[in-house]
Homo-oligomer: A and B are copies of this chain.
């Protein structure tokens, strides 16, 4: 019963992660009711992003400037480089504000199953960045999955010839994790990496 335009908007919204057909419809109704307050700003924000969206030619981040805001920030520690699988991981780590350095986005992980090979990822560009010098530490912040860890091992081997410290994120109990509910893999990691009580 809705017009084709409204239907198209509902469909486009329902494809977003976290929104289904039902919540997309509610979102559309909200937008239709608040033309000035919601539809206008959303349209403007979307247009602005669409017009200026670009990949950072240095780290692979997605931003509206190239180099991206992080690579262009002079306060960032140039000597520390954190390698992540996806832009989402970069954002998650950067939100924590705990890593003062820069990032490198691989754009995925090695996967025999999905046919992702080293040359499909931003590994060569990572090596060029390390070769260019000025980097002391490379943090391999891959996901704690089989594929993520395979990727980390592969990269660690490829860069061991450089005079950089290669580290990876600690594995163990997540904050709030209860032993009873954790999988054996996590428990094994936590036990293996146990540390003296300070």
| Contact of A3 with B47 at beta-carbon distance under 8 Å, contacts A17-B27, A42-B12 already known | no
Separation of A189 and B22 alpha carbons in the complex (Å): 29
**Which chain B residues border A46 with CB–CB below 8 Å?**
9, 12, 31, 39, 42-43, 46
A18 adjacent to chain B (CB < 8 Å): yes
| Contact of A6 with B50 at beta-carbon distance under 8 Å, contacts A26-B17, A62-B33 already known | no
Q: From B27, B45, B49, give the contact of A19 (CB < 8 A).
A: B27
**Which chain B residues border A48 with CB–CB below 8 Å?**
5, 8-9
Q: B31, A16: Cβ atoms under 8 Å? A: yes
Q: B13, A42: Cβ atoms under 8 Å? A: yes
Interface size class of A (residues with CB under 8 A): 35 or more
Separation of A115 and B32 alpha carbons in the complex (Å): 23
Q: From B23, B29, B88, give the contact of A29 (CB < 8 A).
A: B88
Excluding A26-B88, A39-B53, 11 further A-B contacts by CB distance (< 8 Å) are: A3-B52, A3-B63, A3-B64, A3-B69, A9-B46, A12-B42, A13-B42, A17-B23, A17-B27, A18-B26, A29-B91
Nearest 6 A/B pairs, CB to CB? A18-B23, A9-B45, A3-B64, A12-B42, A16-B27, A8-B45
What is the interface of chain A, defined by CB distance below 8 A to chain B?
1-6, 8-9, 11-13, 15-19, 23, 25-27, 29-33, 35, 38-50, 52-53, 62-65, 68-70, 87-88, 91, 94-95
